[in-house]
Amino acid sequence: MNRINKRISRCLTRMMYLLLPLTGGGWVGVSLCSCDNFLDIKPYDRTVPETTEDFSALVHNICDDMDKGSLVAGVVIGEYGNTYSLETVSDNMATNLTGSTDNLGTYIGTDLSDKQSVYSNLYVQIRNSNILLGEYENGRDTREGQDIVGFAYALRGVCYYQLLRMFCEPPLADATKPGVPIVTEFDMEAKPIRSTMQETINQAESDLKAALACDIQNEMYRFSNDVIHGYLARLYHWCGRWQEARREAQLVVKAHPLLSGDDYVKMMQTQFGISGNKLLVSNRISEYQMSITTAMTYLEQRPLSADYVKLFSEGTNDIRRKGNLFFNRKRKNRKLIFSGMRSAEMALISMECAYHLNMQDSALAELNDFRRLRILTDDYAYTMQTLPEVDSQTLIKQDATGRPLTPLIQAILRERRKELYLENGDRWFELKRNGRPEWWVAVNGQKFWTRKYMFTWPIKLRDTELQPGLIQNPGYEETY
């Protein structure tokens, strides 16, 4: 291992100067990169890496940044800062009406300008993927070469998936609406405009399938086949391709069965590294432990919303309540921030897809199987007759297809909300996927509205100014 690390360090040192782009910092880990310069990746009069050793070093460096949860590479999986901020502006946490809110978000409007850096950092990684796919020739047919190529495809596919759900409207609204600029090759003169949403979906799907075809074997490259199946499940689920999403999700759950009891508790109490049925983890190493500890302390300043807490109607018979695993009696958070992927999400995707495919009995059975692992008494099972009535007070009033909630889909969405609290900003994206409801919070006598357009974040202003035809998202034309 030391020999490998020394080789990587030697290669990176040799290439540090060679790979500096024309604008900004280093090739990997650049902190700012907008669409007007994300194509500047073949500097004139400089060389690019050539050998498998060179390209392997670059991949290892990207993986190291993802493991650290850095702002640039960590955003691919989901770094903890974004997860933390999205939770504070969703409806899972109560708004602090009188105390200081300096350390916690109040509503998404205060964060929207910062989301432009997420857009830039995702394109940094797309640029990194393109240099790997465009320049790596000698050795790509070897086992290690296929791992490198597979990683590049997976990285790019995940980035387009993230761009899709953050910077585009929900696909089920209208897939012909704007997607994001698609960049798949080196062209320093190109200034791409936005594709359609369907073209963005197709690009993400194509890249992920190409990564699967490479059959990545090196576990250091993070994107195993199971992880890629998980991202395909996420992509299809987001797009309403229920049959495909269900198939991919079930593949993951079969390979990584759900946990219960002490095994589940142990997994949920592990902050760093892979444990239990976690497939992928941002902040895999503890370099930013101090920052995460500070964020956890800030979260305790605000109680969870009564609306969220009342979902745990079984009280401490729910393992997520027992021992204050998720929150205590004062509704203060105890759950660890998580950015990554674990099997529970896949099980929840599968049961929702069954519902949308009119497989009601299967959806209910899978919901009860899930609850059996979380509820510590024998009365965990619902029947169609005992499902809770639809709550008219909840923010989500329609499903992803636009139809009014039924007791069954409400129960599935509630279980997801309970399980995936403080994970990947999931509640925020669930609100976006299921109707984009508007609501307001009161702080020091003022109302702050989360509007429908705010669920789709602004394209970087500098890019829209410099690239004719690169249209801004609605609501931000004059402000961002």
> What is the phi-psi region of residue 202: left when phi exceeds 0, alpha when psi lies from -120 to 50, beta otherwise?
alpha
| 425, 340 contact by CB (below 8 A) | no
Q: What is the mean pLDDT of the chain?
A: 86
End-to-end Cα, the chain, rounded Å: 47
Q: Which residues contact 99 (CB under 8 A, 6 or more apart)?
A: 301
Question: How does DSSP classify residue 447?
Answer: E
Q: Nearest Cα to 151, choosing from 39, 45, 76, 260? A: 76
What gap in Å lies between CA 116 and CA 460, rounded to an integer?
5
Mention every residue, 6+ apart, whose C-beta is less than 8 A from residue 386.
Answer: none
Predicted confidence (pLDDT) per residue in 320-363, tens digit = 999 999 999 999 999 999 999 999 999 999 999 999 999 999 99
- Residue pLDDT, tens place only, 357-409: 999 999 999 999 999 999 999 999 999 999 999 999 999 999 999 999 999 99
Between 35 and 150, name the one with better pLDDT. 150
pLDDT range class, residue 78, cuts 50, 70, 90:
confident
pLDDT bin (cut points 50, 70, 90) of residue 92 is very high
Higher-pLDDT residue of 470 and 17 is 470
Scanning 69-142, the segments in alpha helix (DSSP H) are: 74-77, 80-88, 115-135
Among 283, 287, 293, 285, CA closest to 69: 283
Q: What are the DSSP calls for 286-339, one per residue?
A: GGGHHHHHHHHHHHTTSPBPHHHHTT-TTGGGBTTTGGGSSB-TT--B-SPPB-
- The token duo for 125 is 């990684």
Residues paired with residue 280 on neighbouring β-strands, in sequence order: 341
CB atoms closer than 10 angstroms to residue 264: 19
> Which pLDDT does position 349 carry in this prediction?
98
Helix residue spans in 89-180 (DSSP H): 115-135, 143-167
- pLDDT value at residue 45: 44
Contact at 8 Å (CB) between 460 and 472?
A: no
For 226-279, what is each residue's pLDDT tens digit? 999 999 999 999 999 999 999 999 999 999 999 999 999 999 999 888 999 999
